[in-house]
Amino acid sequence: MNLPNYISLARLLSAPVGIWFILNGSLADAFWLFLAAGLSDAVDGFVAKRFNSRSDLGALLDPIADKVLIVSMVVTLGLAGYLPNWLVILVVFRDLLIIGGFILTQFAAEPFSSRPLLISKLNTVLQIVLIAWVLAHLGLGVADHHLATILIDAVAATTVLSGGVYLVRWMRGFPGAEEA
C-alpha cells in the first residue's frame, strides 16, 4: 500500500457515506463528499505519476473506486426518486455487460486491450456531471434550467452507444465470429 492506494481506498469507502447522505436527505453533504471524492481521483493519479508510486493494486483499485462511487450514487439517486428508474437500469445494465463481457472474453476469446473507449470516457464524464448537477441543484439550490433533463438524455445516449460498441468489439474477438 502506498499513498495513492490509500487515497483510492478512501474514495471507495466514501461511497457508503454518500449513499447514507442521500438517503437521509443531506444532499448538500453528498455534493461536497462527491466533489472531494472527484478531486481525490485527480490527486491519487498525480501523486502516483509524480512520485513514481504506481502499483498493480492501484491500477485495479482506482477504477474500481471510481465505478463503485459513480454507480452507487446513480442507484441511490434513483432509489430516492431524483433520477429516473429507466436511466438507473440502463447504467447498471451497461456496467454489468462490460464486466461480464470482459470476464467472458478473458476465457473464451482472443485477448484484447481493456483500455476504455473514448465514448466510454465521455459517458463517465457525463455521469459525473449529472450526479454533481443533481446534487448541486437539490442540495445547494442551484437553478436547474432543464440541464438535468439534457444531462439525463446525454448519459442515456452515451450509455447505449458505449455498451453497443463494447458488445460489437467483444463479439469480433470470438473465434468464428467472422463466419456468422
Query: By mean pLDDT, which of 78-82, 83-87, 105-109, 159-163 is the weakest?
Result: 105-109
pLDDT at res. 176: 56
CATH topology of domain 3-179: Four Helix Bundle (Hemerythrin (Met), subunit A) (1.20.120)
Top pLDDT among 169 and 62 is at: 62
Question: What pLDDT was estimated at residue 54?
Answer: 87
**Residue 109: pLDDT band by 50, 70, 90 thresholds?**
low
Q: 1: which DSSP letter?
A: -
DSSP one-letter code for 179: G
Count of residues making up the chain: 180
Note the pLDDT of residue 13.
Answer: 97
Report whether pLDDT(77) > 50.
Answer: yes
For the cut 70, the answer to whether the pLDDT of residue 124 exceeds it is: yes
* Cα 127 from Cα 113, distance rounded (Å): 23
- Determine the Cα–Cα distance for residues 83 and 134; give it in Å rounded to an integer: 8
Query: How crowded is the C-beta side of 8, counted as CA atoms within 13 Å?
Result: 25
**What does the alpha-carbon distance between residue 133 and residue 148 come to, in Å, rounded to a whole number?**
7
Stronger pLDDT, 100 or 6, i.e. the higher one: 6
**Per-residue cell: 69:** 462511487
The residue ranges of every structural domain in the chain are 3-179
Nine-digit cell string for 18: 454518500
Checking if the pLDDT of 180 tops 50, the result is no
Model confidence pLDDT, tens digit, residues 20-75: 999 999 999 999 999 999 999 889 888 988 888 888 888 889 999 999 999 999 99
d(CA 105, CA 27): 40
Q: What is the mean pLDDT of residues 130-151?
A: 97
Alpha helices in the chain (DSSP H): 3-23, 27-50, 56-79, 85-108, 118-140, 147-173
Per the CB < 8 A criterion, the answer to whether 18 and 33 are in contact is yes
User: With the CA atoms of 122, 128, 129 and 132 taken in that order, what torsion angle do they form, in degrees rounded to the nearest 10?
Assistant: 180
User: Which pTM was predicted?
Assistant: 0.90
